[in-house]
Amino acid sequence: MLTVLGFAPFYLFPVPIITLAVLLGFCHRSRSPMRAALLGFCFGMGLFCAGVTWIYVSLHDFGAMPMPIAVIALIVLCAYLSLFPALSVWILAKLRLTSPLIWAAVAAALWMLFEWLRGYLFTGFPWLALGYSQAPFSPLAGFAPIIGVYGISMVLILSAALLFLWTETGFRKWRYGLPFVLIWLGGFGLQAIEWVKPEGEPITVSLLQGNIAQDMKWREDHLENSMETYAKLILESDSRLIVTPEISIPLFSDVMPQSYLSHLAAHARNNDGDVLIGLAERTVDGSDDYYNTMFSYGSAPEQRYRKHHLVPFGEFIPLKPIFGWVIQVLQIPLSDFSRGSLDQQPMDLAGQRVAINICYEDVFGEEIIYQLPQATMLVNVSNDAWFGRSIGPQQHLQISQMRALETGRYMLRATNTGVTAIIDERGRVLQTIEIFTTAALRGLAQGFSGATPYVRAGNYPVLGLAGLLVCIGLMSALSRRTKNPVKSS
C-alpha cells in the first residue's frame, strides 16, 4: 500500500524502491516458492486495492452497480492483477539462484516481463506499472526515451534488488552498491541528452474543461447546457488550436446541428487555426457500428480520429456470451463502441502534425508511437469525471507525463473535469487549471521533430534483454543442479 505513494499525486519516487527491496528481501529468505508467491500476491493486493480504488467510484457512483457487487468486482480485479507479481517471484524462487547479481538481474527481468504481460492480456491493464512512479522527477526518468515505462520498471526492480543485497551486507560490499549508484547516475546523465529538436514556432493552444457532471452529461435536458458551455469557451478563445474533451457534446455527429459546427469552424478559421470536438460517430452503411471520435473543424480540411483501444466493460463488453449481463447492471451509455484502426495518422492542424489519443489510450505507449515520428505533438482528450475526486485523475496525468518523456513531444490534455494540462517534452507540467472548474487553459505549445530510441524500437529491445536475462538465470539454475543433483533435489 505504501508503494502507491510513489505515484501521483504524491510523486515520492524513492518509496517504491524501498518497498520493493523489502518484498524481494522477504522472497529471498522464503523457505519455498509458494511462500514467495503468497508474498508477491499480498504485495499486489496492497498495491492495487490502494491504487485503483477509483474503479469502485466508476462502477458504483456513476455506473449504478450495487455496492456489494462493485466491491466484489474491485477485489476480483485486484486479485487478478496480483497474480502477475506473484508469478514473477514464484519463478524466481523456483530457480534458486546462488549468484546474488544474477538473482537481482533475473528478478528485474521477470517482474518486467509479467508487468508487460499484464498490460497485454485481455486488451491489457498496465495501470500502476512501477515505471510510472518515476515520472517525471526521478533520475530513472532519464531512461524513458530509450527503454520506455517497462524498461524503467526493470531498472527500478534491479535497483531494489541491489539495495536489498547492499543493506544485507551492512553497506560494506560495493559490488552491490556500485551498480546501484551507477544506475542512478546513468539515469541522471541521460536527462541531459537532447533526443529531439524544436520544429517551427510555438503555437497558441486552448484546452477546454467544461466540467459537465457525469450524472448530467447524458441527460437530454442537459444537452443544451453542454453545447452552450463549449460554444462559449471556444468563442472566447483566440488560440490557433482549441481542444475539447472526449465526447464533449453527447450527440452522434450525423445529428449534430450543422449551424453550430459551422459557427465554431468559422471562429477557428478567424484564428488561423482549428478546433477539435469530441463526438460519437455512427456509420451510414446500415451497420450498428459507432465510434468514439475526435473531429477537426477550421482552416485545415475536416479530419477525424476514431478511438482504437477501448475500455473493457466501459466501452465494449469482452466475451459477450459470458459477460453480456454486465450491460444490464451498468448504466453506462454507449457501452459497445467499435474500434478505429491502429494505423491512423496524425492530423494536420494549426501548422502542426497532431497525434490524437482518447482517454485510456495513452496508457499504451507502444501504440502511441504508431503516429510517430511524423507527429510533432500529442493530444490526449479524456473524461476523468468517471473517477470522481479520487486519485485516478492525477495518476492519469502522470501516465501522460511518461508518454511525453518517451516520445520527446508536448502532451496537451483536455479533460471534462481535470486534470487539464500542458506537459512539455520532458514530462513537466507547465500549466494546469483547478479540477472541477469550468475554464479554458490557454498557453503555448512547441512542436518537436526527431525520434527517441523508444519511438524507433518500442518495447522490443527491453523485452529481448529481459528474455536474455531469464535465459541466463535458467542456465545458471540448470548448471547448478547438474553439478549437485542430490543437493538440488
Backbone angles phi, psi at 97, to 5 degrees: -70, 135
Question: Cell triple for residue 10?
Answer: 504524491
Active-site pick, 359, 361, 406, 425: 359
Cβ atoms of residues 390 and 56 within 8 Å: no
Tell the residue number behind the cell numbers 496524425, with chain if given. 346
For the question of residue 359 being annotated catalytic, the response is yes
State the pairing for strand pair 197-198/448-449.
antiparallel
For residue 9, cis peptide bond before it (omega within 30 degrees of 0): yes
Residues in the chain: 489
Q: Which residues have C-beta within 8 Å of that of residue 308, sequence separation ≥ 6?
A: 339, 340, 341, 342, 344, 361, 367
Cβ atoms of residues 430 and 422 within 8 Å: yes
3-state secondary structure of 48: helix
Cβ atoms of residues 240 and 351 within 8 Å: yes
Tell the residue number behind the cell numbers 547492499, with chain if given. 166
Active-site pick, 27, 78, 246, 315: 246
Alpha helices in 96-169 (DSSP H): 100-118, 144-168
Active-site pick, 307, 361, 366, 406: 307
User: How many Cβ atoms from other residues are within 10 Å of residue 137's Cβ?
Assistant: 13
Report, as residue numbers or ranges, the catalytic residues.
Answer: 246, 307, 359
